[in-house]
Structure 1
Amino acid sequence: MMKNPEQTIGNIADKYSTVFISYVDNEGFPITKAMLKPRIREGIKVFWFHTNTSSNKVKFFRENPKASIYFVDKRFFRGVSLIGTVEVLETKEAKEMLWQEGDTMYYREGVTDPDYCVLKFTAVRGRYYSNFHSEDFEI
C-alpha cells in the first residue's frame, strides 16, 4: 500500500519525460498516444499538456472528454493510471501559462499559433501498480 500517493505518483510523473494519454474515438475504441510530460502538475489531480489543435486527440476530446493518462517507471516496473476528463483550452491565458522558450519548434507562429492548444486533464481516480500488486485510489 502506498504511504503517500501524492508523493509517490508525483515523483513518477515528474521524473520521466513521456506520458501516455488515451482517448475514445468516434467508434468507441480506445486510442493511446505518447506525449511529452505535463508542463504543470497540480498535485495528482490536474495535469496541463500542450499539443496541436489539429491532432486527432483534440478532435475526439471535444466530442468525448473521457481520458486516462499513464506514467511508467521502467526501472522499477511500476506505474500509475489516472482516469478523468480533458478540457481543450485555446484561451490566451492558458496558452501563455504553458508556453516555453523553444516551443516555436512545435508551433511556428508562437503562442498565438492556431495549431497550439492546451489540454487540462483532471483526474477522478487512479490505479497504482508496483511489486506485483495493484491498488485503486480516489483523488
Structure 2
Amino acid sequence: MSPISNRKGMTLIEIMIVLAILGGIMTLLLPRLTGQMEKAKVKEARIQMSQIVNALSMYYTDCGKYPQSLEGLVTQDSQCNNWGPEAYLKKSPKDPWNHDFVYEISGSEYSLKCLGKDGKEGGSGFDADITLEDIQ
C-alpha cells in the first residue's frame, strides 16, 4: 500500500504569502481611495451650498428678508406667514464633515462658507474654505 499524498487545502506559508500580497495591494490603493472620498466630499459641500442658496432665495421671495440664521430655513418664521420650510430643507444643514456652515447676514446681503475638512478658517487642499464664489 502506498500512502495517499493527495493534499487538499493550503499550507500556512501559502496563506501568509497571499495575505502579504493583499496587504501590499491595499497599501497602494488605500491613499487613492481616501483622496477620492475627500474630493467627493468637497463636491458634496458645493452642492449643499447651492441648495442653501436656493432655499435662501426662496425665503427672501416669501418673506422679503433673509433669515437671521440657517436654522430659520427649517423652522416656521412667526414674522413671515408665507414661509413653509418643509418644502425646502428637511433639517438644519451640516457640511459633509459634520460641521456647521458659516452664515452671516448684513442688511440685505449674506455670506455663506464651508470651512472644509478641518472646520477652521483658511487652510489648503481639503482643509480649504469653500465660499459662494467657488460655487458660482
What is the TM-score when the length of structure 1 is the normalising length? 0.23
> Structure 2 length as normaliser, TM-score?
0.23
1 or 2, which has the higher strand percentage? 1
